[in-house]
Amino acid sequence: MERREFILGTVLAAAAPGAALAAQQQFVKLYNGQDLSGWHVKGGKAEAWKANGEMISCVAPGGGWLASDKEYGDFVLRLEYRIGPGGNSGVGIRFPAEGDPAHVGMEIQILDDSDPKYANLNPAQYNGGIYYQSPAKTKAAKAPGEWNRYVIRCQGPKITIRLNGTVIQDVNVEEFTKGQGGHKALAERPRKGMVGLQSHGDQVDFRNIEIREL
């Protein structure tokens, strides 16, 4: 009996690291469907954000950013978003507590590119761009009013982004040594920080927000 228990204990101990790794590789929901626990508002008004059933909604201007309490370094972030005609928003990644997330971390742009008021923007200001620094490789967004799905993978300096299953970014930030628009170069920006959702004055809905740390 003692030998059997010893062997069983050895097997369990050997399996424990693998079990821990498997647990780390699971996607974790960042929204509980009831309230905004795990989030805080950065640079805006809390009342602009609403826990809206299956969605988090930005329902008023001036919301700034809804930021995760936790910081993430290497991860895969999945979410769906929906904007209306002329809509403008973004997903923030790896941004610190201080400064504009779009320029001290990174913002993945959300925009209704077809609206005439956006006709003369910098190429990296359009949908799917790493804001102001790296334009999307191709257009893959659905029409306003439809749900779109981002899958954003950050691992060290490598950033890969899929929109509705299409790769629109596949970059190494170490190659971006000069910041566009007078902003800090991507190569100099942090490799760990908060993730967040942007309020830009337009209603926008987010759902199925989940993250897996790498």
Average pLDDT, stretch 4-28? Answer: 56
Average pLDDT, stretch 6-20? Answer: 49
Average pLDDT, stretch 1-24? Answer: 49
Average pLDDT, stretch 90-108? Answer: 97
Say what the pLDDT of residue 4 is: 46
Average pLDDT, stretch 131-138? Answer: 98
Average pLDDT, stretch 125-139? Answer: 98
Q: Which two tokens stand for residue 116?
A: 């005439």
| Per-residue pLDDT tens over the stretch 145-168 | 999 999 999 999 999 999 999 999
Determine the residue type at 20.
A
Say what the pLDDT of residue 7 is: 42
| Per-residue pLDDT tens over the stretch 71-80 | 999 999 999 9
**Class of CATH domain 28-213:** mainly beta
Say what the pLDDT of residue 202 is: 86
Does the model's pTM come out above 0.95? no
| Per-residue pLDDT tens over the stretch 38-58 | 999 999 999 999 999 999 999
Say what the pLDDT of residue 130 is: 98
Say what the pLDDT of residue 30 is: 98
Average pLDDT, stretch 112-126? Answer: 97
d(C-alpha 4, C-alpha 156), whole Å? 44
Say what the pLDDT of residue 9 is: 47
- pLDDT over 50 at 181, yes or no: yes
DSSP string, the chain: -HHHHHHHHHHHHHHHHHHHHHHHTS-EES--SSS-TTEEEESS-GGGEEEETTEEEE-SS---EEEESS-BSSEEEEEEEEE-TT-EEEEEEEE-SSS-HHHHTEEEEEE-TTSGGGTT--GGGSTT-BTTTB--SS--PPPTTS-EEEEEEEETTEEEEEETTEEEEEEEGGG--S-GGGPPPGGGS-SSBEEEEE--SS-EEEEEEEEEE-
Say which residue the tokens 């004055």 belong to.
Answer: 201
Confidence of residue 11 (pLDDT cuts 50, 70, 90): very low
Say what the pLDDT of residue 12 is: 43
| Buried b / exposed e along 105-132 (16+ C-beta atoms within 10 A) | bbbbbbbbbeeeeeeeeeebbbbbbbbb
